[in-house]
Structure 1
Amino acid sequence: MIKKTYLLLSFIWIAQCARAQQAKAPDYLALDKAINSVSAVMIHDVVNPPAAARYYNYFMIGPYNLVALNNKDIVPIGNFIKSYTQDNTISLAPGQYNYKIAAVYCILETGKLMLPSGYMLQDDEDKYIALLKKNNISDDTIKASVAAAAEMTAKVIAFSRGDNYNRLSGKLRYTPLKGGKNWYPTPPMYMEAVEPNWKTVRPMMIDSSKQFIPARPAPFSTDTTSEFYKQAYDVYKISHHPSTEQVNIASFWDCNPFAVTTSGHMAIGFKKISPGGHWMNIAGIVTKKANLSFDASVQVLVLEGITLMDAFISCWDEKYRSNGIRPETYITRYIDNKWAPFLQTPPFPEYPSGHAVLSNASATVLSYLLGDHFEYTDDSEIPYGVGPRSFKSFIQAAEEASVSRFYGGIHFRDAIENGNTQGRQVGADIVKKLKAAKVQPLIK
């Protein structure tokens, strides 16, 4: 009995040491630092939400491929992304380079080559090399790992060129229609519609942009007894007496890449992370809390990036199909011409809520990977003067993100409720295909 107890304590001690060692992973393997670097450039470039999701997706594919080449327990990406037919082999064999270093560098290199102001990441790459040297990584290892990252980056960029993104600029520009149910540019900048042809971008895992068309929104009407008017009046009513908690929720999930405040003839712009950037940050937060290995963390981050891209493609397909009027336009026309929402209205049609779709898709996939009751604290908005907030599950966070748009005055109820359903359908389809490819949950 004493011997068994001793062995049990020994195993516990070994497990604790392993966890402690993992928790003290060297800072040069911090994935979140590399992601924050590319996010900073996207903030600088004011990358719109759908495009930001696309970039996050491609930034993480290279690191995932490098991990899969070196860890046979990681399912190759082509097993669950049908369109990915690239040969992922590189000239360096496993063991000839440090694949974890290569994976981190690959995030920076992909950002450098894909983003409009990607040249800004050269400084981050130089600092990363200096950090490696400070940690006594040999020059040969650094050179080989950077070479491996460069080879994989080239493959990812070649794959990205086939997604039709480069053809968007050649398509007809969107012309807003005045009056009736149609979306029209809103104050203060009356910006043109964001990515009206996004549905033509190739999805990653869902079959097509129109695979999950949501239920129809309430029919447009100015009749004060109609469902549409009632939904508009609900937005108007809550804006007059929101609770402190409702204001906090709206602010926390704002995620407007470029909000503008006017003062007289002067316009002041405020930049911050996109909705996709917020969920990528959540993915980084929870991988740390779950104490996941480097390889498993890369897996969570790439699947979150894939989910974001497909969620935006699905959502944007419907946005420009229904072309719905925003609460701000409707309320100032038919209820109160001096009204303004708490949050600045984004420059694209109302239905469905993008936050609802992408948040619920993300929550569904993250719940599959890490569990239905994963508790965490989200401090993503601290740099912008908001938060943190704690959640008992990803679904709870998604539901709060969705309703935040109602509290903020920029969405009607049915855009949120039907957007929630659409997002869960996108997430469920991705999970179904992950299961078929034998991608297992990371926490059981």
Structure 2
Amino acid sequence: MKQLLLACLLLSQLVQARPVKPDLAARLQPTVFAVTMVMIHDVVNPPAASRFYTYCLLGAHEIVAQQRNGIVSPASFTRNFPHIQINSKERYDYRIAALYCILETGRLILPSGSMLEEEQQKLIDQLKAEGYAEPLIGQSVRVAQEVAKTILSYAAADNYGKLSARTRYRPTKQDDYWYPTPPGYIEAIEPHWKTIRPMVIDSCNQFAPRPPVPFSKDTTSAFYRLAHEVYQVGNTLTDEQRFIASYWDCNPFAINTSGHMSIGFKKISPGGHWMNITSIATSQAKLSFDKSLMVHSLVAMTLMDAFISCWDEKYRSNRVRPETVINRYISVRWQPLLQTPPFPEYTSGHSVISTAVAELLTYLIGADFSFTDTTEILFELPERKFASFRQAADEAAISRLYGGIHYRDAIENGQAQGKALGEFIVGKLKKAGVTPTL
């Protein structure tokens, strides 16, 4: 009896001495956010950010899908996805490989990707400290590196590399067309983004919205009423409306001027905000590593397709911004609360992408999933509670009216555009066998 008790005591001591390996799902949010921070550093524009998120997560998604039966491969619903065969004679941990693949793809594809080398080493050091064997870590890293190379080849064929060779955008001074706005008068961002290969949707114009209200200087016209609404709302904002506008600003191009001095402020992109909401929601829902990574990947792909769809319309309608119209025809001194982004007005980008992602997250996680968004704490704004993803998307959309940077029809028609796109992607995922995570 004494020998049995002694054996049990020794076993208990051994178990207690063994390092506790935390759930690697907890590593996913900081890994994705490390990619976000590099994009903030590089002032990556919103459409390009969605592309980088997609490719950084795509290889990781495939690594998990090849090991876990419940995770559907991206090849089942994406366009021209490459065949990836992981031939590893040595044992590896697919979760470690997936995490490292996110960082490795970011290292290779982002302008300042080398900044992620420190994150890669930090991840390896943490895994060692938690008791993962070095041979296992090493082989997982090698698998990640091989998959990342394949993803980079896939990304190279999406027409992104051809953008700089296309005809440079030249704004016209006709009254109804977009023209660069103060204070930076930045040239048009990504005028040829519609040529980027989509991930899930069929084409850039598959979800073209209804045409915008026609431009008119007539004070009795529908367009003038739209412009005057922006003017009036901007002059009578409540504290709550000001906060909502600032909360969803997400403008990587913000410039603050004082006299002859201009200071740039780096902020998260609209897609970056929704990627972080995804991290918050998957963590709060206590999703497994496998499901959490899949949700992140699907959100990134939806963002990418939504930006392609929205940017197709922006440079087709090429519509003038409220700031320009109001300064010309209503009040020369009026300024929007938010800085006007450097691209045409119609449709509202945040309205399109937020609504599309909200439809996806509603399907994957739930229609009444409440969460607390802490994304903007980094930019000195408090947390904000939402009863659902759709509520958050609705607030993001109307924030553009409060901010003075969009007319109402660009917001409402943008929401319809995003909803149609989101529902199409959900339909594709259902056919491929992707089921809700909860």
Shorter-normalised TM-score: what interval? over 0.9
1:72 aligns with 2:63: no
Alignment-derived partner of residue 164 in structure 1: 159
Gaps of 5+ in 1: 1-23
Contact 1:235 1:412 in 2 (8 A): yes
Look up the SS of the partner of 1:271 in the other structure: coil
Residue correspondence of structure 1 range 378-389 to structure 2 within 5 A: 378-389=373-384
Contact 2:64 2:95 in 1 (8 A): yes
Alignment-derived partner of residue 283 in structure 1: 278
The 2-side partners of 1:258 and 1:353 are apart by 17
2:424 to 422, 429, 444: 429
1:47 aligns with 2:44: yes
The one-letter code matched in structure 2 to 1:120 is M
The one-letter code matched in structure 1 to 2:85 is T
Cα deviations across residues 331-367 of structure 1 (Å, max 9, x unaligned)? Answer: 0000000111000000000000000000000000111
The 2-side partners of 1:124 and 1:32 are apart by 13
Contact 2:56 2:101 in 1 (8 A): yes
Cα deviations across residues 294-314 of structure 1 (Å, max 9, x unaligned)? Answer: 000011000000000000000
The 1-side partners of 2:80 and 2:426 are apart by 17
Alignment-derived partner of residue 440 in structure 1: 435
Cα deviations across residues 90-129 of structure 1 (Å, max 9, x unaligned)? Answer: 2215x81011011111111000000011111111111111
Contact 1:29 1:101 in 2 (8 A): no
Cα deviations across residues 15-58 of structure 1 (Å, max 9, x unaligned)? Answer: xxxxxxxxx94468511111111111111110000000000111
More off after superposition, 233-242 vs 194-203? 233-242
Contact 2:25 2:292 in 1 (8 A): no
Residue correspondence of structure 1 range 10-21 to structure 2 within 5 A: none
Look up the SS of the partner of 2:54 in the other structure: helix
The 2-side partners of 1:31 and 1:258 are apart by 28
1:91 to 64, 87, 92: 87
1:228 to 215, 223, 229: 223
Alignment-derived partner of residue 268 in structure 2: 273
Residue correspondence of structure 1 range 4-403 to structure 2 within 5 A: 25-26=22-23, 29-84=26-81, 86-92=82-88, 96-403=91-398
| Residues 28 and 422 (structure 1), Cα distance of their counterparts in 2 relative to 1, 3 Å cut | closer
Look up the SS of the partner of 1:381 in the other structure: helix
| Structure 2 length-normalised TM | 0.94
State the Cα distance separating 1:386 from its structure 2 match: 1.2
Look up the SS of the partner of 2:416 in the other structure: helix
The 2-side partners of 1:408 and 1:367 are apart by 27
Contact 1:28 1:132 in 2 (8 A): no
The 1-side partners of 2:222 and 2:236 are apart by 22
State the Cα distance separating 1:201 from its structure 2 match: 0.1
The 1-side partners of 2:79 and 2:269 are apart by 28
State the Cα distance separating 1:387 from its structure 2 match: 2.7
The one-letter code matched in structure 1 to 2:381 is V
Look up the SS of the partner of 1:70 in the other structure: coil
Cα deviations across residues 358-406 of structure 1 (Å, max 9, x unaligned)? Answer: 0000000111101111111111101001131111111111110000000
The 2-side partners of 1:258 and 1:370 are apart by 32
| Structure 1 length-normalised TM | 0.93
The one-letter code matched in structure 2 to 1:118 is G
What count of residue pairs does the alignment treat as equivalent?
418
Alignment-derived partner of residue 12 in structure 2: none
Contact 1:28 1:128 in 2 (8 A): no
The one-letter code matched in structure 2 to 1:427 is G
Gaps of 5+ in 2: 1-20
Cα deviations across residues 139-165 of structure 1 (Å, max 9, x unaligned)? Answer: 101101100110110111111111111
The 1-side partners of 2:101 and 2:208 are apart by 36
Question: Runs of at least 4 residues of structure 1 off by over 2 A?
Answer: 24-29
Contact 2:25 2:288 in 1 (8 A): no
Contact 1:256 1:346 in 2 (8 A): yes
Cα deviations across residues 266-304 of structure 1 (Å, max 9, x unaligned)? Answer: 111100110000000011000011110000001100000
The one-letter code matched in structure 2 to 1:69 is Q
Contact 2:233 2:402 in 1 (8 A): yes
Look up the SS of the partner of 1:262 in the other structure: strand
